[in-house]
Structure formats: structure tokens, C-alpha cells
Structure 1
């Protein structure tokens, strides 16, 4: 017996819009099921699928868990994701970090790390 990590579930006020946004950011295909849940399909080797579930409440505090992404070019990815509608957020950074903290359109924090050298 044991556990296998199968999917990430993300609550969203507008699951359709947020799922489509992340689909664009990640370049992953998505679909919407009969319940209105949005599933992003991770390419082989890229991790697990993401499911966006509609909830009535807004996010009001800092995430207790967040996602980190390692790009080939940090600045290019930060610029691209900001242009898609992300925003910079301050969670107490000092300013000399090697990562950039952003939030998606519903305020979920995530980091774009420095590229591997």
C-alpha cells in the first residue's frame, strides 16, 4: 500500500478563466468537465495534472503552499507572465533574492526562480 501524487486541485472564483490563464502560462492543453472543473493536462514528465474547482469565496491571505518554476531565462519569463496578467507581490522579500514572487489573476502566489547556470 502507498500513496501516489495524482493531481493538484486549486480553488478559484472563476475556474474557467483561471484554468485558461494557467493553460496559457504553462502551454498545457485544458478541458472543462461536466461539473465546470477545468483540468490542465501535464505533458509526460512535467508533473501531475492541475484541476481548477469553482468556489464562492475569494482568496484573502498568503498561500500556505505555492508553486516554484525554473525557467531557461528568468527575466523573459517574468516579463511574459506579467504581460499575461500576473502581478508582482511583496511577501517580505529583502530585494536580493534569486527568485521573483508573482501572483496569478486571483492572487495565488508563485515564484519564478533563477535559471540554472
Structure 2
């Protein structure tokens, strides 16, 4: 028996708003499934789809898992994503080459330095 990595499930207070926000950040198409969950469709080779599930509670602690993204131009991507509504967060990272941001519901993610 084998397992296939099919999707990443993300709890959200407002699954519709957060799913649409990440769709804009990633440039991936999205739709709403029969259960009312928002599905981001990963392009071929980009990994699994993302599924945003509505939950009644807000995020209250640091993520136990997060996403790292490597752009062509770190500064430009940080500015673009902050312009879409992300915010800088300090999780104790100090002075590092990556930038820690949070999405509108507070989920942390990193934008790494571009490959040299």
C-alpha cells in the first residue's frame, strides 16, 4: 500500500477570504467545493492542492508547520505580499536571510532569499 500527498488542509476562521487571499498570493485558481470549502488548484509540479476549511475558532499560537517560498526577488515579493495584506512578524528569528510574514489570519510563512 502507498500514500499519495493529495492536499494540504488549512483551518480558517473565514475560509473563503483566506482561500481567495492565498489564491492571489500564489496565482493559483480556486473554487468552492460541494462542502463549501475553498480549493486552490496547484499547477502541475507545484505540489498538492490547498484546501481551506472553515472552523469557528481563531489561530492563537505560533504554527507548528509553515510554508517557505523561494522567489526570484525577495524584496519585491515581500513588498507585493505585504501589499496584499500580509504583515511582518517576529517569532524570534533574529537577523536572518529569510523574512517571516503572517497571512490575514496570522499564519506564519517565510519568504527566503533568492537562489544565488
Q: TM-score, normalised by structure 2?
A: 0.98
Moved over 6 A (4+): none
Q: TM-score, normalised by structure 1?
A: 0.97
CA distance in structure 1 between the aligned counterparts of 2:13 and 2:36, rounded to whole angstroms: 12
CA distance in structure 2 between the aligned counterparts of 1:48 and 1:25, rounded to whole angstroms: 16
* Residue pairs, 1:31-42, within 5 angstroms: 31-42=31-42
Deviations 1:81-109 (A, max 9, x none): 000000000000212x1100000000000
* Residue pairs, 1:15-94, within 5 angstroms: 15-94=15-94
Unaligned runs of 5+ in 2: none
- 1:28 is paired with a residue whose SS is coil
- 1:65 is paired with a residue whose SS is coil
* Cα RMSD for the two superposed structures: 0.6
Unaligned runs of 5+ in 1: none
